[in-house]
Amino acid sequence: MKFAIAGNPNCGKTTLFNALTGASAHVGNWPGVTVDKKEGVYKKGGFRAEIIDLPGIYSLSPYSPEEVIASNYILNENPDLIINIVDATNLERNIYLTTQLLESDCPIVVALNMTDVAHRDGIKIDVRRLEEELGVSVVEICALKKSGIEKLMDTAAKEAKKPRLGKSVLEESEISCCFEKICSFAKDARHAKFRAVKALEGDAKNSGLSQDALLGIEKIKNEISLPSEFDSDFEAAVANWRYSYISKKISPCIKRKSASEALTISDKIDRFLTGKILGLPIFFALMFFVFHLTFSEDLFFLASLGILEEPLMSPGVYLLGLTEIFTEWLTGIVSSGLDVVKAAEWVKGMMCDGLLAGVGAVLSFMPQIMMLFMFLYILEDTGYMARAAFLMDRFLRRFGLSGKAFLPLLMCFGCLVPAIMGSRTLENDKERKLMIMLAPFFSCGAKLPIWSMFAMAIFPSNADIAIFSIYMIGIITAIIAAIILKKTVFKGDASVFIMELPPYHLPLIKNIALNVWEKLKIYIARAATIIAAATVVIWFLSSFSFGFSMVETNSNESILGVLGSFLQPLFIPLGFASGDIGWKAVVAILTGLIAKEMVVSTMGVLYNPNIEGDALEDDAASSALAATIVATFSPAAAVAFMAFNLLSVPCMAAVATANAEFKSAKWTWATIAFWIATAWVVSFVIYQIGSLLGY
Ligand code: GDP
Ligand code: MG
């Protein structure tokens, strides 16, 4: 048997899925998009069912890849049953999707989840009455505590054997009689009512009906006179019928405590955290605290405040020290090993100055990156990030911007590629383009090693503040750029931002660990493949001249040296490209186009002061790198360099994704020019002001 779990985001689908499938789960991708596809097997006694976790959706409209995936799955893959999981604390909102699922012919069981929270908040749901209204079984569960799961699966196994015919709220609406006629056009197909509603809503493509049927339906639609406020917008009218069905039939199944008692704990926390006055300051303080925990060399400022003699290092900084020692040790071993086997000088150079210096530099920042991702994940999983988007919306509205784009933009802190794909959830083409153009300004995970490397080298005692500031430079640039673009290229109103604030949850340690582990795997895999390969190429290009003779490592006669020197003049006003070795910074920026970690691995190779085995003694390879950075970059130049890397063209994969979303080479090139120009101007301002102030 094949069961699909469908439900709104954050209603506990994945938790239920994990409880059902245990270790058999397997994560893949839906074809063509980066939406997770989770499959697993539920077994009990002789019973066995394949379980699939559909993406979280609020409706089955065709506006986001998630919605299209879910509705196509239900139409075409014929699951034996749909487990529709709904959040008992938010029933009315969740049933909206249920009314759509019920239109299919699939057997359905409704899993009423979060019953623990509902109980605590004094929400009582009349399950019998709900079953009667919906016409399908409803089982109360608590996915988190795994209660009710067996009853759910027993019911599901029974229901899956009974055929079911779809039902629609339209059958009870004013247009019930026209709807019947529309359905007759689809009556031979499975899921007739589901298809009929899609066609009525104007989503011909996903209805899967023949051209003739669609024409017939169009005729009937022309005869229907909708109430004037809908202005022949059938989609809005259908949504309205669904909501009125919910308020008439479903709302009476819910009993809440009286208004004053009904203020849930979530509401109380929200009054404080999303308050008009304290909301944004709390957000920034919280974000700073996250950076502080990850990067500070004086945790909680205990030493500066005089409470401790010796500063306490954050675990991230502490681990960074350990990974540096490890890389140094490994380089030493490899180098003496190669001496023993009398390897050629270039092999030794490639291994030690190339591969180990480059990949080692990237990997040494892994602990800090993991910590930052862990904290950000916790903020997201507790439900706080959704509030951050809400706060941002309220703030950005003053500038005529909508915070709607802010949610996909938050994803950019992880990786631009899925975030840019997520721009599809924005309905308005202008906002979609604007969002893509602003995406790189939200520092992605791959850029983090750059910030770590510079902050730890140049601002060792204030690394947390330095890195926090880089993120802020990005956000402020994004806001200013958005205001300018809105006034010029993208004129028009900000669209309304509707978003449900999910109730707060305590995150599960297991989920956090899993999530961080997933990120870790990707990071290591990238370092071992693309970064390692590119590093060897960089080493080669920096060790050989155009005539393919080996030159003194990292001299400006090397291939990279010549290329970098050619572009160098463009960057001299930004402060970081002057002098003999200024071309190296230029090359690092260029290689960052392959993948942003390459900026660090390239610098690991190019700024490696070519130490021979004995000189390595007390200077670790990467602290030698830090020393070279301190000697080469003034603080102002370092910040300008970071800002340039932050704001300029992102990695190739992100550009390709943007190009696919723009569907226009003209837009892609214009956007690339916009990124370079913004990066140049902001870096220029930072360097000029910084050096005026004497930094
Ligand atoms: P999804 O987005 O639908 O996949 O939702 P998740 O499974 O990721 O769950 C979202 C959050 O709700 C997580 O923090 C879960 O720990 C929490 N959660 C899930 N089920 C329950 C439940 O029955 N009770 C409570 N209190 N929390 C739950
Ligand atoms: Mg999930």
> What residues does each domain of the chain span?
2-255
Residue 505 Cβ contacting ligand 1 at under 6 Å: yes
pLDDT for 343-396, tens place per residue?
887 888 788 877 887 788 778 778 887 888 888 888 888 888 778 877 877 777
What is the Cβ-side half-sphere exposure of residue 314, based on CA atoms within 13 angstroms? 27
124 - beta bridge partners?
255
Bridge-based pairing of strands 2-7 and 137-140 is: unpaired
Is any atom of ligand 1 closer than 6 Å to the C-beta of 143?
A: yes
Does residue 516 surpass a pLDDT of 50? yes
Give the whole-angstrom CA distance, residue 537 versus residue 350. Answer: 9
Mean pLDDT confidence for 659-674: 91
At residue 608, does pLDDT exceed 80? no
Distance, CA of 321 to CA of 325 (rounded, Å): 6
Distance of CA 388 from the midpoint of ligand 1 (Å): 19
Between CA 134 and CA 138 the distance in angstroms is 9
The C-alpha atoms of residue 515 and residue 373 are separated, in whole angstroms, by 9
pLDDT at 226: 81
Q: What is the pTM of this model?
A: 0.59
Using CA atoms, how far apart are residues 332 and 337, in angstroms rounded to an integer? 8
**Is any atom of ligand 1 closer than 6 Å to the C-beta of 11?**
yes
Please give the pLDDT value at position 617. 41
Lowest mean pLDDT among 33-37, 221-225, 254-258: 33-37
Structure token digits, residue 20:
């059902």
Give the pLDDT score at 328: 80
**338 in ligand 1 pocket by Cβ < 6 Å?**
no
pLDDT at 402: 64
Q: How far is CA 174 from CA 97, 170, 318, in A?
A: 21, 8, 68
Distance in angstroms (rounded) separating the CA atoms of residues 649 and 600: 16
Q: Whose CA is nearest to atom 28 of ligand 1?
A: 144
Q: Is the pLDDT of residue 172 over 70?
A: yes
Residues, the chain? 695
Q: Where are the alpha helices (DSSP H) in 498-549?
A: 509-526, 532-543
Q: What's the pLDDT at 263? A: 63
Coil, helix or strand at residue 550? strand
**Residue for token pair 């015919």:** 165
440-454: per-residue pLDDT in tens?
Answer: 999 988 898 899 889
Ligand 1 center from residue 675 Cα (angstroms): 39
Report every protein residue that has its C-beta within 5 angstroms of ion ligand 2.
14
pLDDT for 51 beyond 70: yes
18 Cα to the center of ligand 2, angstroms: 10
Taking the CB of residue 54, how many other CB atoms lie within 10 A of it? Answer: 24
At a CB cut-off of 8 Å and minimum separation 6, what does 161 contact? none
Region 54-75: mean pLDDT is: 85
Q: Give Cβ neighbours of residue 395 (< 8 Å, ≥ 6 apart).
A: 280, 403
Q: How far is CA 382 from the centre of its chain?
A: 15
DSSP 3-state of 305 = coil
Q: Who wins on pLDDT, 151 or 186? A: 151
| 161: nearest Cα among 58, 272, 301, 47 | 47
Q: In sequence order, which residues have a C-beta less than 8 Å from that of residue 567 and are 6 or more positions away?
A: 583, 586, 590
The more confidently predicted of residues 350 and 170 is: 170
Among 8, 10, 94, say which to mutate for ligand 1: greatest number of ligand atoms within 8 Å of CB. Answer: 10
Phi, psi of 501 (to 5 degrees): -85, 115
Contacts of 181 (CB under 8 A, 6+ apart): 220
Residue with the nearest Cα to atom 10 of ligand 1? Answer: 10
Quick one: the chain helix, strand, coil %, rounded to 5? 65, 5, 30
**Span of 125-129, 377-381, 471-475 with lowest mean pLDDT:** 377-381
CA of 75 to the centre of ligand 2 (A): 21
Q: Contact, 392 vs 405, CB < 8 A?
A: no
**Cβ–Cβ under 8 Å, residues 660 and 420:** no
Query: Kind and range of the H or E element at 688?
Result: helix 665-692
125 - beta bridge partners?
A: 254
Residue position matching structure tokens 């205990």: 302
Give the nearest ligand 1 atom to 11 CA. 3
The SS3 of residue 113 is strand
Whether 29 contacts 36, CB under 8 Å: yes
What is the average pLDDT value for the chain, to the nearest integer? 84
Ligand nearest to the CA of 18: 1
pLDDT more than 90, % of the chain: 30
With H, G, I as helix, E, B as strand and everything else as coil, classify residue 28: strand
Q: 143: CA distance to ligand 1 center in Å?
A: 7
88: Cβ below 6 Å to ligand 1? Answer: no
| Residue 615 predicted with pLDDT over 60 | no
**C-beta of 383 in contact with ligand 1 (< 6 A):** no
**pLDDT value at 506 more than 80:** yes
- Taking alpha carbons only, the member of 463, 444, 447 closest to residue 599 is 447
Q: Which residues pair with 38 in a beta bridge?
A: 27, 53
Q: Which amino acid is at 368?
A: Q
User: Which class in CATH covers the domain with range 2-255?
Assistant: alpha beta
Q: What are phi and psi of 92, to 5 degrees?
A: -60, -45
124 sits in which H/E element:
strand 124-125
Q: Are 27 and 16 in contact (CB under 8 A)?
A: no
Is the pLDDT confidence value at 536 over 90? no
Ligand nearest to the CA of 94: 1
Cβ atoms of residues 365 and 600 within 8 Å: yes
554-600, pLDDT tens digit by residue?
677 888 888 888 999 999 999 998 888 888 899 999 888 888 888 98
